[in-house]
A = this chain, B = another copy of it.
């Protein structure tokens, strides 16, 4: 598993020969496929493919590979994304005051569960600086005033540019990102503290308690302009009973949040998630 691999994610209008064309191109260039998943959404008329092969022995260098894939995508009227398993993306984690998702992610990065370079943690509060120090991760405090939100966002964007961030993980960041921000940094994973689409919006645990649900959940999803409405990557649930107060729901909810967010980030980093039409295909 330590060998470097290439991962191709490909979406295009469905038509015959697609698996053959992609796999033959790989074979013709000496690639040995390790994993290959294909999915056809017949209603949408779309073909989705994720293929992973050994980079060792492949006859094209990275530049040529990208160039040929782009030609392929152009010819098939689709879109392609190529990733190399030895190039971990640079990631920024955004937090506010709650530590449970952050500590979980820090531990998983340290334990090599998540193939990423954690460049820094950004926060609108100073509470979690110390734990970042413990794990040796740079922490950047950027205050967000309700009236000057866009100024704060500009500062954040500048920091992200400096660190060449490719992925943002909102690990209980209690600020809404603007459309402008998302246009510059479109790849953002958020953890929502409910089983979406139930209890969209504020205070989901209080409302879940009042409604007397028997299961609570958490939803990890990509962020879109429409709040709590982005493509869902993963969901986790926990059983609750009348014995559980709101604080117990919050406590149990933290575990579902940690699990769902960590799984979603890993799936994303391993390029197992493909987004189309507001939904995800997760090749896991």
Could you tell me which A residues sit within 8 Å of B by CB distance?
A: 1, 14-21, 23-24, 26-28, 30-42, 51, 99-100, 103, 107, 111, 113, 131, 134-135, 195-199, 210-215, 217, 231-235, 237, 239, 241-243, 245, 247, 251, 255, 259, 278-282, 284
Contact = CB atoms under 8 A, between A and B. Distances in A.
Contacts of A278: 210, 212
B234 A214 contact: yes
A284 B243 contact: yes
A45 to B, nearest CB: 12
A284 B235 CA distance: 18
A36 to B, nearest CB: 4
B213 A196 contact: yes
Nearest to A34: B40
A243 to B, nearest CB: 7
Nearest to A281: B242
Which of A20, A135, A197, A199 has its CB near the most chain B CB atoms (within 10 A)?
A20
Given A1-B245, A39-B242, A251-B113, A232 B259 contact: no
Contact of A237 (B30, B237, B281): B237
Contacts of A40: 33-35
A171 B239 CA distance: 24
A22 to B, nearest CB: 8
Given A23-B23, A245-B1, A195 B215 contact: yes
A228 to B, nearest CB: 11
A15 B255 CA distance: 35
7 contacts: A35-B39, A36-B38, A37-B37, A99-B111, A131-B134, A134-B135, A197-B198
Given A35-B38, A212-B279, A242-B39, A197 B196 contact: no
Nearest to A16: B32
